[in-house]
Structure 1
Amino acid sequence: MRPLSVFIGDDFTGASDTLATWARAGVPARLFLDAAEAAAADKNLEVIGIATELRGLSAERIRARASDVAEWVRSLEPRFVHYKVCSTFDSGPETGSIGAAVRAFEQVLDPGLTLVLGGQPSLGRYCLFGTLFARAADGEVYRIDRHPVMRRHPVTPMTEADLAVHLAAQGLDTLQSIPFTELSGQSGPLADLLKPGRGRGPARFLLDAASAEDICLVGAALGAIAGERPVLLVGASSVAEALLACRKSGSMPMKPASIPPANNPPARGAVLSLPEAARR
């Protein structure tokens, strides 16, 4: 049976956060540091993760590394491929380029759709009309280019809050924005809106996420559009939250509950637990 999702973390911290999201829901999942080992993973796993170092690489190295990882991912034939990035989307054209990674994944995986999920409300990250906002340590919510920390990031400062503009600067253009006002189906079911365009190249969409309800609506749409070709999802652990909503709704086939979680032994001794402030 095909795995539901393979997620590729742009760093270990982010990948472990997504693993924790799946594990808390009781989904058989495992995180690997090597793509080749992930490709040979236990077939009983519903979710397979690969932690990489893409976040700190140059765009040229990202393209080569992402292409190599994608070749292994393709052999797993997942329904969804999740490129897990920081919830603040901090990246640049030359360092940690999200666009360079996504274009490399698209070339190898040939996804039916590429969807960027812009927010993670459960972590205080909100995307409205394509604009990203984030809660800071003082409890206030700021537009990301005015965030007291992210606007001063030492390597990839966020100087642009419009995610479509931000990602277009990294080569990920033609993003069609679907705001939160259209997620509820007032303009038609979201799954109907997520149709491949007639232009050249892959269909790419940017989805808002301003509330937990939005995450559930996205999840329902994902269940409706899943097909033989994988769907490439870009975003924080909110992507895993949406897929969990899809899975729980019964709109996506899942492995029988009687299957053990990949022979994972029970936790003994110290267990890594990340506080919310450290989650990416």
Structure 2
Amino acid sequence: MSSPPAAQLVLGAIADDFTGATDLANNLVRSGMRTLQVIGVPEDDLALTDVDAVVVALKSRSCPVDDAIGDSLAALEWLKARGARQIFFKYCSTFDSTDDGNIGPVADALLERLRATQQEHLRATHTEQSGSDQTVMVPAFPINGRTVYQGHLFVGDRLLNDSGMQHHPLNPMQDADLVRVLARQTPHGVGLLNRATLARGAEAARGRLAELREAGVRHVICDTLDEGDLDVIAAAVVDLALVTGGSGLGQALPAEYRKKGWLAPVEHPGRLMPSHGAALVLSGSCSRATLGQVEHFLARHEGMALDPLALAQSDAPIEEALAFARARLTAADGPVLIYASAAPQAVEAAQASLGAARAGELVERALATIARTLVAEGVGRLLVAGGETSGAVVSALGVGELRIGEQIDPGVPWTQTRVAGREAPLSLALKSGNFGGVDFFTRAFTVLSEQTNQSAGQQTTQQRTQQRNQGEEGA
């Protein structure tokens, strides 16, 4: 391989799924960081011109623990080779994982690798980071209703285990006490930075973290009720080698980077090119939020459901879905929906017959095949709901990098990427299952149109200015 290109990243993030990566990248862009999202660990020759943060999107949330650790460490090495000042391990704001991991084991592996190389890192980047022997766990995203109090995670006004996440097909969450959840995933100490301490400010929070470190606590769950708590946490942890959490913390960190002089002001960090092509929605998520979005969409547009049991018999449902979409996409009368989203009872029935892993694989393969086929045939605006589904679709399309645009709803931006065989960029939105308002599937395309029309107008103005300046120079 060629030598790594010279670059000084402020933040290097490792996300355990594709929608989570986009969620974090969205908040970084909104907070003024020039952000590139890459799918998997990229090649060494990837150019990082004018980039403040890179988010490496993995598919490591629900895979075997050893695979998650290996992929995460590979991403860490790539990011550290580019001088990342801080590492961010991004997982879902609902902390979904199993008692075996993967959140705890991956965080442990990242800390241990960082600690082993800390002295070299400090010499190379001249930072003032504290030892790599402790990190924080900040899953909260208050604007999306994810809060933590006394170590318990809430989704809206419900405890995590009563929010619908107890029915998650891969990682059912049946305990809202994150200290207890994480303690089952790691042999190291787990503690709590509570709301009362945060209310006293960043200095008090730093002091409490130091006390916990002295007591041998490696992982610290952080209470978080509002945006102000995120600001306090960001100020307290900006010098840690590793932070972990949801995208809410990513929203607060850039202000602290600016205070340190690591970031310069950036104009229009989320500008996209004009969008072209038919509009398609693919949904594999079975979350309550997505089920509501599917119902809302179907009351206004056409859609077709995929049944995992039928997919297990043959590929005929895929061909039927393609025919259904082709007949309607050519009409140019709005987006078309293909979905495998279903109520918990239907999901449980499919899993009982096929097994959870097999049922999920069938749906992911079907939606990925549909995406690859229809994008090749002219779909230029694609919205995908569900983390596992998004990972399958992105892999099928061969996407390597995503330019992050403005957000549709908190945590979900439009992005653009280049796909082989398409002259124009593909506009792509990757939605975590629990995110977005009930009208998300329809409103997203209105937001994209507004964004790209504005960008086209800005580009026209810039072109006219350049032409005028060239004319004056030639006169």
TM class by shorter chain equals 0.7 to 0.9
1:53 Cα shift? 0.6
Question: 1:26, 1:99 → 2: CA distance?
Answer: 30
Quote the residue 1:9 is aligned against.
Answer: 15
Q: Any unmatched runs of 5+ in structure 2? A: 1-6, 116-131, 276-380, 382-426, 437-475
Partner SS state of residue 143, structure 2? helix
Question: 2:213, 2:86 → 1: CA distance?
Answer: 20
Match of 2:263 among 251, 255, 260: 255
Deviates more, 1:2-11 or 1:122-131: 2-11
Partner SS state of residue 69, structure 2? helix
Quote the residue 1:151 is aligned against.
Answer: 166
Quote the residue 2:24 is aligned against.
Answer: 18
Question: 1:60, 1:83 → 2: CA distance?
Answer: 16
Quote the residue 1:237 is aligned against.
Answer: 247
Kept in 2, the 8 Å contact 1:145–1:151? The answer is yes
Partner SS state of residue 204, structure 1? strand
Amino acid paired to 2:28: W
RMSD: 2.9
Alignment of 1:168-187 (within 5 A): 168-171=183-186, 173-185=188-200
Match of 2:138 among 102, 108, 117: 117
Match of 1:142 among 158, 163, 167: 158
Which structure's residues are more often helix, by fraction? 2
1:199 Cα shift? 5.4
Quote the residue 1:51 is aligned against.
Answer: 57
Alignment of 1:53-202 (within 5 A): 53-94=59-100, 97-110=102-115, 111=132, 113-135=134-156, 141-147=157-163, 149-171=164-186, 173-185=188-200, 189-195=204-210, 197-198=213-214
1:2 Cα shift? 3.7
Question: 2:272, 2:158 → 1: CA distance?
Answer: 41
Question: 2:54, 2:44 → 1: CA distance?
Answer: 7
Question: 2:187, 2:68 → 1: CA distance?
Answer: 14
Q: Any unmatched runs of 5+ in structure 1? A: 136-140
Q: Does 1:211 align with 2:226?
A: yes
Question: 1:20, 1:92 → 2: CA distance?
Answer: 27
Amino acid paired to 1:143: L
CA 1:113 to 1:37, structure 2 compared with 1: closer, same or farther past 3 Å? farther
Question: 1:128, 1:50 → 2: CA distance?
Answer: 30
Show CA shifts across 1:167-187 (max 9, x none): 111116412211111112279
Question: 1:51, 1:258 → 2: CA distance?
Answer: 24
1:32 Cα shift? 0.8
Question: 1:160, 1:258 → 2: CA distance?
Answer: 42
Quote the residue 2:420 is aligned against.
Answer: none
* Structure of higher RCO (CA pairs closer than 8 Å, 6+ residues apart): 1
Show CA shifts across 1:54-99 (max 9, x none): 01201122222222222222223322211111110010134x5111
1:276 Cα shift? 8.1
Question: 1:258, 1:56 → 2: CA distance?
Answer: 36
Show CA shifts across 1:107-163 (max 9, x none): 21223531111411011001001110002xxxxx2101122x101112211111111
Amino acid paired to 1:14: G
**TM-score, normalised by the number of residues in structure 2:** 0.50
